Amino acid sequence: MTLQPTGGPSSPRPLVPAKAGRGPSVVAWPYPRYAAHRGAGKLAPENTLAAMRAGFERGYRMVEFDVKLSADGVAFLLHDDTLDRTTNARGPADALTWAELSRLDAGTWHSRAFADEKIPTFAAVAEWAIANGVACNVEIKPMPGRERATGSAVALEARALWRDAPVPPLLSSFSENALAAARDAAPELPRALLLEKIPADWRERLSRLDCVAIDPDYRELSAEIVAAAREAGYRVMTYTPNDPRVVAKLVSWGVDTIITDAIDVIRPT
C-alpha cells in the first residue's frame, strides 16, 4: 500500500488518528504484519546493518530499531543506556562523539562472524531501508534527561530522510515526553505509544500525543483490548512474541503489526 501525497510531490500523506466522535474508523496502515526486532537481533548483532540485512534475507519487509543521540547530537542505533553490552567500550552511550562511536566494535559480542561490525547512524539505516523497500519502526530511545531533545532531533531527521519515500517511518517510544517532542517537531509523521503495562487512561494518552497506534507488551493484549483499540480508532502493534502459537493467536485477534525476535521461525506473510 502506498500513501498518496497531499502536501506536494515529496510529502507522504500523514496517518491521522480517529478523533472522538468519529466512530470505529481506523487509520490507513501501510506497514507489514511482521517486523524484525532490532533487525534480526538474535541472528546478527542487534541494531546494526548486518541485523537489518539478515531480516531482509528471511523475507521481512519491516524492521524495528532504537535511536539515540551521541554527545555531539548525531542520531545512531543503540538500545541500552550504556555501551557495555553490545560494544567493546564501556560507559554512558552519549558520553562519546559520533567520531568516537563510529570506531567501536559492535559485533564481536554477538559472535566472531560479526567481528568489527560498526554501530550505524540513523541516516545509514534509513538509506538502506528506503533503497530496499523496507518499512521502519523507529523507536526513540533517549538517554535520561534528553527525552525532548532526542524526540525532536529524531523526528526532524526522519522527516528529512524519508522526504521522498512513499511510506513514512513509524515513530514510537516509551517516553511520552519524547513522543510529544516528536509530535511538535514533525506532526505529520505517525506515532505509536510503547507500553509495558496498559493503563486505564490509554485512550487519553494516545489522543494527547496524536498517536495512530498502541504498542504494548504482547502479554498485555487480549481480543477485547484489540477490539477496544480499533473501536477507538487506533491500530495495534505488539512486542515481542516469539512462539508461533502465540503469534497465530495475536493475528486472529487482528493485531496489525507484530515485532518479533524469532526471524528464523516465524515466516512473514
The answer for 39, left when phi > 0, alpha when psi is -120 to 50, beta otherwise, is: left
DSSP code of 220?
Answer: G
**What is the mean pLDDT, run by run of 10 residues, along the chain of 269 residues?**
32 50 67 98 97 98 98 98 98 98 98 97 98 98 98 98 97 98 98 98 98 98 98 98 98 98 93
The answer for 266, left when phi > 0, alpha when psi is -120 to 50, beta otherwise, is: beta
- Give residue 9's pLDDT: 33
Instruction: Return the ∠ at Cα 211 (arms to 210 and 216), rounded to 5°.
Output: 145
Q: What does the alpha-carbon distance between residue 214 and residue 15 come to, in Å, rounded to a whole number?
A: 14
Q: Which residues pair with 237 in a beta bridge?
A: 257
pTM for this model (two decimals)? 0.92
Q: Indicate the domain borders of the chain.
A: 34-260
Q: What does the alpha-carbon distance between residue 142 and residue 150 come to, in Å, rounded to a whole number?
A: 6
Beta carbons within 10 angstroms of residue 252's beta carbon: 10
Which residues are catalytically annotated? Answer: 37, 79
Cβ atoms of 208 and 186 closer than 8 Å: no
- Give residue 62's pLDDT: 98
Q: What does the alpha-carbon distance between residue 32 and residue 24 come to, in Å, rounded to a whole number?
A: 21
- Give residue 205's pLDDT: 98
First to last CA, the chain: 15
Nearest to 50, CA basis, from 80, 77, 68? 77
Q: What does the alpha-carbon distance between residue 59 and residue 70 come to, in Å, rounded to a whole number?
A: 32
Say whether 36 sits in a helix, a strand or coil.
strand
- Give residue 47's pLDDT: 98
CATH code at 34-260: 3.20.20.190
User: Which segments of 48-146 does DSSP mark as H helices, in order?
Assistant: 49-57, 98-101, 122-131
